[in-house]
Amino acid sequence: MGKIAVLTNDLQGDVVFLTPERTAVMKEAQPHYTGFLDEMRKRGHTVYHLQLINLPDDPNANRRADGTLPLQRGTEGAEILPEFLGEGDVVVEKNKDSGFYETELHDLLQAAGVDTVLVTGLQTQICVQTTAADAFFRGYNVWVPSDCVVSDNPADRDRSLTWLSGYCATVADSKEILDVLDAQDALPRRVAKTLP
Amino acid sequence: MASLDEVVLDHGSGAKLSGDLISLVVDTLGEVYTGEMEDSAVLSPPAGRIAMTTDSFVVDPPFFGNGNIGKIAVCGTVNDLAVVGARPLYLTLGMILETGLPMARLLEVVTAIRDTALEAGVQIVCGDTKVVRKGEVDQIYLNTAGVGVFERPPLRMRDVRAGDRVILSGPIGNHTVHLLSIREGLGFEQRVLSDCAPLNGLLDHLFDQVGEGAVRSVRDVTRGGLAAVLHEYAKASGRTIRFDKEKLPIQFETVMATDMLGINAIHAANEGCLCLFVDPAAEDRVLAALRAHKYAAEAVSIGEVTAGEGPVVLMREDGRDSVVEELQGAELPRLC
């Protein structure tokens, strides 16, 4: 039986505090989100934080109004927020939406024997959705805790969760995931569709 | 001292470095380049009518998973000549290069041009190179103009009739999804590849198999996608074109991506897909011939031209028809 890993997306100051709406929804989600990460750590599952770093020559990176690039390597705004970090966590740099796009994530997960990933973070309809799809294409069993993903607009989050459950992931709230995990010591693959 | 590892302004100055760069390009093109470095190519006109076309290429990103801008620049012009029934003969090659473009990258593009031209059986007869400052273009833009000769009657939109079947030579949407996925790192780029291909060989094969008259008209499904092609034909013929949504050939991962991105695959650009209007009596023969070729193995009949209600495009879904509106603007820039 393979291991389970939790992936977080973009838990960084430059992302979380970008807009008042996002700051507010993250503040609301944070207690049970960090609680879920702690529960997973207690059960021996590693948390991988996907850290978005904008490359200076990326023409598609979103710039600030003054033209400067946020999320630069080594800056405070690019650091993973300390309240989400725990002992044994792994930080993986990414430069695009999917955490697997030209990163070491897949190799790290394979080396660790991971076959199931729980994809969390923000925003649901961008980085969570693409990372989950990419994980699915690479053969992982993908779960998404619905209360540990965030979007500025709740309608975007809901639409994205519908897409995820329809195509490539099992969507459940964090309590249900922990209950299944405790009862079965595994998260069984519920998505029928598999790809060659 | 200018670095020769990357393109510098002097490569476009007309002086020695320009000559060095052109020599490198010509050497890389090899036998595909038949020019003689004069101000114009001197060519004997082919007998009969010719077709001419031109296209500019600004694809973002210029280097993608299974191709690059050079391959698109040959395919785009070759396909435009082939779909009107001409045999592509000659291409021109214009290049606008950004200062700082690594020379190795430029040679990747030129190599793709050579390989694709060899496959398509066309010659590069003349060219031009300009270099601009950083930021004035995005790495490399190309222009190719092409000349083809008619060895069979031209295929015209006006020849489409009521009752003609509408056939697609392959899946739609893949080129768009592949490029958008690379731009943003969406995770689909390994599963969904660009369909970019020179299709003149496919059409030669088809006409060898089915003869003249079976295929009334052909269009390559590029910018604007299938919907734009069908609207053009509806307007040109004054007829209604109806297709069945469930018959559209769309790869599963492309369905996922277009659903995620809020794109309708019928509006997505392609670089290796033909839309054919076919005599209904020849439909099965045309499909069989197409499916025997590597670039049309998934060819499928999606609908028909009807006398109908005038120049409209209808999509049938769950037994009901809905009007496909024409897009007012380009939602997806720089796909070719």
Give the separation between CA B32 and CA B85, rounded to whole angstroms: 22
The mean predicted confidence, pLDDT, of chain B is 94
Say whether B187 and A102 touch across the interface (CB within 8 A): no
Any residues with CB less than 8 A from the CB of B56 and at least 6 apart, and which? Answer: B141, B142, B143
Superfamily of domain A3-184: Isochorismatase-like (3.40.50.850)
Taking the CA of residue B253 and the nearest CA in chain A, the distance in Å comes to 9
Minimal-distance CA residue of chain B relative to A166: B256
How close does chain B come to A97, measured CA to CA in Å? Answer: 5
SS3 string of chain A?
A: CCEEEEEEECCEHHHHCCCHHHHHHHHHHHHHHHHHHHHHHHCCCEEEEEEECCCCCCCCCCCCCCCCCCCCCCCHHHCECHHHCCCCCEEEEECCCCCCCCCCHHHHHHHCCEEEEEECEECHHHHHHHHHHHHHHCCCEEEEEHHHEECCCHHHHHHHHHHHHHHCCEEECHHHHHHHHHHHCCCCCCCCCCCC
Q: pLDDT tens digits, residue range B117-137?
A: 999 999 999 999 999 999 999
Q: Using an 8 Å Cβ cutoff, are B323 and B313 in contact?
A: yes
ipTM of predicted assembly, 2 dp = 0.86
Query: Among B274, B290, B281, which Cα is nearest to B206's?
Result: B290
Q: How many helices (H) and strands (E) does chain B have?
A: 8, 13
Percent with pLDDT over 90 in chain B: 88
| Pairs of residues, one from chain A and one from chain B, whose beta carbons lie less than 8 Å apart | 54
Report pLDDT digits (tens) over B186-232. 999 999 999 999 999 999 999 999 998 999 999 999 999 999 999 99
Would you say residue B150 has pLDDT above 70? yes
Question: Is B246 a residue whose pLDDT tops 80?
Answer: yes
Res A192: pLDDT: 54
What's the rounded Cα separation, in Å, for the pair A138 and A130? 12
Class of domain B157-323: alpha beta
Contacts of A137 in chain B (CB under 8 A): 187-188, 190-191, 253
Q: What is the mean pLDDT of residues B311-335?
A: 87
Cα nearest neighbour of B185 on chain A? A96
Pairwise CB contact (< 8 Å): A94 & B185 = yes
Q: Report the pLDDT averaged over residues A148-176.
A: 95
For residue A68, pLDDT over 50 is answered with yes
Q: For tokens 């069989």, name the residue.
A: B288
**pLDDT band for position B84 (cuts 50, 70, 90):** very high
Average pLDDT, stretch B131-155? Answer: 96
Calculated CA dihedral for residues B272, B278, B280, B282, nearest 10 degrees: -80
In DSSP terms, A99 is beta-bridged to none
| CB-based contacts of B324, cutoff 8 Å, min separation 6 | B227, B230, B231, B266, B313, B314, B315
Task: Please determine, for residue B1, whether its predicted confidence score (pLDDT) is greater than 80.
Answer: no
pLDDT in tens, B13-40: 888 899 999 999 999 999 999 888 888 9
**Gap from A41 CA to chain B (nearest CA, Å):** 27
Q: Determine what percent of chain A is predicted with pLDDT higher than 70.
A: 97
pLDDT tens per residue across span A167-191:
999 999 999 999 999 999 999 987 6
Residue B163 has φ and ψ, to the nearest 5°, of 100, -20
B179 and B240 Cβ atoms separated by less than 8 Å: no
Cα angle B85, B86, B90; round to 5:
155
- Where do the H-state alpha helices sit in chain B? 16-29, 69-83, 103-120, 174-184, 200-210, 225-237, 252-261, 283-291
Half-sphere exposure at residue A171, Cβ-oriented, CA atoms within 13 angstroms:
20
pLDDT at A33: 97
CA-based Rg of chain A, rounded to a whole angstrom?
A: 16
Please, are residues B160 and B217 in contact by the beta-carbon 8 Å criterion?
Answer: yes
Q: Could you tell me the pTM of the whole model?
A: 0.92
Assign A44 a pLDDT band (cuts: 50, 70, 90).
Answer: very high
Cβ-Cβ contacts under 8 Å, A59 against chain B? 60, 138
- Mean pLDDT throughout B242-247? 97
pLDDT at residue B36, as a whole number: 84
Find out whether B166 and B239 touch, Cβ atoms under 8 Å. no
- What ranges do the domains of chain B cover? 9-150, 157-323
Among residues of chain B, what percentage have pLDDT more than 70?
99
Instruction: Indicate if the pLDDT at residue A2 is higher than 90.
Output: no
Q: What residues in A contact B257, CB-CB < 8 Å?
A: 133
As a whole number, the mean pLDDT across chain A is: 94
Task: Evaluate whether A129 touches A142 at the Cβ level (below 8 Å).
Answer: no
Q: Give the mutation candidate from A137, A151, A160 for the B interface (greatest B CB count, under 10 A).
A: A137
Q: Give the whole-angstrom CA distance, residue B40 versus residue B137.
A: 26
Banded model confidence at residue B282, pLDDT cuts 50, 70, 90: very high
Q: What is the pLDDT of residue B310?
A: 85
What is the domain partition of chain A in residue ranges? 3-184
Contact between residue B186 and residue A98 where contact means Cβ atoms under 8 Å apart: yes
Query: For residue range B37-55, what is the model confidence (pLDDT) as tens digits?
Result: 888 999 988 888 999 999 9
| CATH code for the part of the protein at B9-150 | 3.30.1330.10
Q: What tokens were used for B310? A: 């005038």
CB contact (8 A) between residue A133 and residue B252: no
* Per-residue pLDDT band at A193 (split at 50, 70, 90): low
For the beta carbon of residue A191, count every other beta carbon within 10 angstroms: 17
- Report chain B residues touching chain A, CB-CB < 8 A: 60, 138, 183-191, 252-253, 256-257, 259-260
pLDDT computed for residue B2 by the predictor: 47
Q: A128: distance to nearest CA of chain B, Å? A: 10
Which has more confidence, A147 or B310? A147
